[in-house]
Amino acid sequence: MYDSIVIGSGAAGSTVARKLAEAGKKVLILEKRSHVGGNCYDAPDEFGILIHEYGPHIFHTNEEDVYEFLSEFTEWYLFGHEVVANVHGELIPVPFNLNTLHKVYDKEKADKLEKLLIEEYGEGSRVPIMKLRENQNPEIKAIADYVYENIFLQYTMKQWGQTPEEIDPAVTGRVPVLISYDNRYFQDKYQGMPKDGYTPMFEKMLNHPKITVELSVDCKSRLEFGEEQVLFDGVPFDGDVIYTGALDELFDCEFGRLPYRSLDFKFEHFKQDSYQGRSVVNYTVSEAFTRITEFKYLTGQIDTNGTTIVKEYSFAYTGAEGETPYYAIINDENQTLYEKYAERIKKIKNVYLLGRLAEYKYYNIDAIVKKALELSEDIIRR
């Protein structure tokens, strides 16, 4: 009945399903949740505020092909996303930049430090905090120590349950020190939100005569991954299978559970125009939660009566009912464990791993859409 089976309907699964369908393949999507969109799923809350149930997702990209592809299914509410950190009650721009520098130090000292940073790294550069800490100039090192102590250390320990030295450099490098006056959290050409929400965008993407979507279906109830063959409803399946879920859980964690960080979201609604006057405030040195998001500033619902916020609490994923794995904890030991599962599935023909969970790595939305577009082209060529 089907040429391809896609497990999961997030950005990865939806993109690959659409491209395969457009190439004439009949595609079945098996989605464990009761909705499409994966962690990007959004919906109005009981007060009419459009919220992201799995935490805020801001689209940003420099990839023209990704932007053009997604624009087939949505118009955009484009804006430059800005974030501040609450440091001992003072709100300062993050990533730490030259504006932040001038808020932290008096003008004379800030001017001197700005000149030093530009001479050392170049105007407009992005310097990972751990690299900045290696600088032997005592004045530059003092900046690095301030940023490390007040923006990175406590926040990282809350988010990851580790110190920055213990986690993969790619993680600490994602939020660098910017040698510029650009307050935007991202510097990509395109950034913002699907105008009507992520869920309508994915619903349009999956609205194709050759795509069948089955919700609330655990793929293991329909598929069996044998040593060299996939069985679909007990019958050998020779088509393509694209898997976007947690790879260890596909095999019931037979080699051990891959470590992830999860998030607990506490939503609150207030009968007032605004709670914090901006979209995101990171709490880097205080509070048990990592950040507060006020959705109306992300989605352009500024004139909506009342406001809804969410506080995020990070914790270690255990696989318990209701928990969601969000961030792979990447280190040599965990990567070795992942490779055991990857080798297990490589023996099965025509099975492809795609996405954060299946590949045990971090992807932004645009990066995984790009990867899905490339995988689709590869499968179609084959």
Task: Identify whether residues 359 and 218 lie together within a single domain.
Answer: yes
Query: Within a domain: residue 325?
Result: no
Final residue in a domain of this structure, among 276, 292, 316: 316
pTM attached to this predicted model? 0.94
pLDDT tens digits for 270-279?
999 999 999 9
Sequence-distant (≥ 6) Cβ neighbours of residue 84 within 8 angstroms: 91, 92, 93, 94, 278, 280, 281, 282
Q: How far apart are CA 104 and CA 146, in angstroms?
A: 9
Token couple for 293: 């998001």
- Residue 53 covered by a domain: yes
The string of pLDDT tens digits covering residues 94-148 is 999 999 999 999 999 999 999 999 999 999 999 988 889 899 999 999 999 999 9
Residues 128 and 94 occupy one common structural domain = yes
Closest by CA position to 334, among listed 162, 77, 99, 151: 162
Give the separation between CA 149 and CA 73, rounded to whole angstroms: 43
Q: How many CB atoms lie within 10 A of CB 47?
A: 14
Contacts of 335 (CB under 8 A, 6+ apart): 360
Name residue 17's beta-bridge partners: none
Do 248 and 342 have their domain in common? Answer: yes
- Domain-located, residue 324: no
Taking the C-alpha atoms of residue 224 and residue 102, their distance in angstroms, rounded to an integer, is 59
pLDDT, one tens digit per residue, over 309-348 is 999 999 999 999 999 999 999 999 999 999 999 999 999 9
With tokens 């009650």, the residue in question is 89
Residues 222, 108 share a domain: no
CA distance 54 to 51: 9
298 and 342 fall within a common domain = no
Please provide residue 121's backbone torsions phi and psi, each rounded to the nearest 5 degrees: -120, -15
Statement to judge: residues 36 and 107 lie in one domain: no
Count of domains in the chain? 3
Asked if residue 171 has pLDDT above 80, the reply is: no
Do both 77 and 87 map to the same domain? no
Q: Say if residue 147 is in the same domain as residue 87.
A: yes
